[in-house]
Structure 1
Amino acid sequence: MIEIVSATACIACDVCIKVCPTDVFDRGADGIPVIARQSDCQTCFMCEAYCPVDALYVSPVSAPAGPDNPHTDEDAVAGHGLLGGYREMVGWGRGRTSGALKDRNPLLKAVPPLPESRLPAPAPLATTPWNHRSD
């Protein structure tokens, strides 16, 4: 469930507001999104995945965390590198390595020539249209 919107990291781009399928956020007076309907959060991680500056934290627990819970403490979450942690895990966030760069398949520089088949043709080749009678 969405727990933290970091006002210090947020750039007020509204991406989280736009991608949230259940309309959890409202735009605050200062432009920073606020969690307005936390109970509507489906813990889909879309807001955290799309946040370009890792300013969001979605707890993997599908119920709101209490005020004394470490999942609601921005300093604790940031200290453990969890702000934007889901985004990093799916390869979209900090330290991102493009999937093409991770590909270990060898690159073909040229297609090797293929030898002529030594198998006979499976059927005689037709020299006339096959679906017309010749009478």
Structure 2
Amino acid sequence: MIELVSESRCIQCNICINVCPTNVFDKVPDAPPTISRQSDCQTCFMCELYCPVDALYVAPQVEPLAEVDEKSLTEGGLLGSYRRNIGWGRGQTNTAQEDSTYQLLKYLK
């Protein structure tokens, strides 16, 4: 579920608004988008994948987290981590087979 739009990283490109299939975000003039309908998030990671500056964090849990701390997410390398893990974007190395979700799914076959 979408948990954070980093105000310090966001460049207000609004790509996340455009790629979200469930209209979770609202555009805010001269500010980062807001998460207005978090419960509508399908945890598809599209916003995180397309964010060019890793300003978003989508948690794999489908329920909102009790606490979201940007500093901890940054220190833990979690902002934009899904995009890095699957090798999405310029200059990235495809590491999809190393992603924990991929690892779990291979055992379900």
Alignment TM class, shorter chain as reference: 0.7 to 0.9
Pairwise CA RMSD: 1.8
Shift of 1:33: 0.6
Q: Provide the secondary structure at the position in 1 that maps to 2:31.
A: coil
Deviation at 1:98, TM superposition (A): 6.9
In 1: Cα distance, 2:6 partner to 2:31 partner: 12
Residues 54 and 93, structure 1, Cα contact 8 Å, conserved in 2: no
Determine if contact 1:88/1:95 at 8 Å carries over to the other structure. Answer: no
- In structure 2, the gaps of 5 or more residues are 96-109
TM-score (norm 2): 0.80
Which has the larger Rg? 1
Does residue 60 of the first structure (1) align with residue 56 of the second (2)? no
Say if 2:75 is the partner of 1:79: yes
- How far 1:97 sits from its partner (Å)? 3.1
Q: Which has the higher contact order (CA 8 A, sep 6+)?
A: 2
Superposition misfits of 4+ residues, deviation over 6 angstroms = none
Offset of 1:30 from its aligned partner? 2.2
* Structure 1 residue ranges without an equivalent (≥5): 100-135
Count of residue pairs the alignment pairs up? 95
TM-score of the superposed pair, with normalisation by structure 1 = 0.65
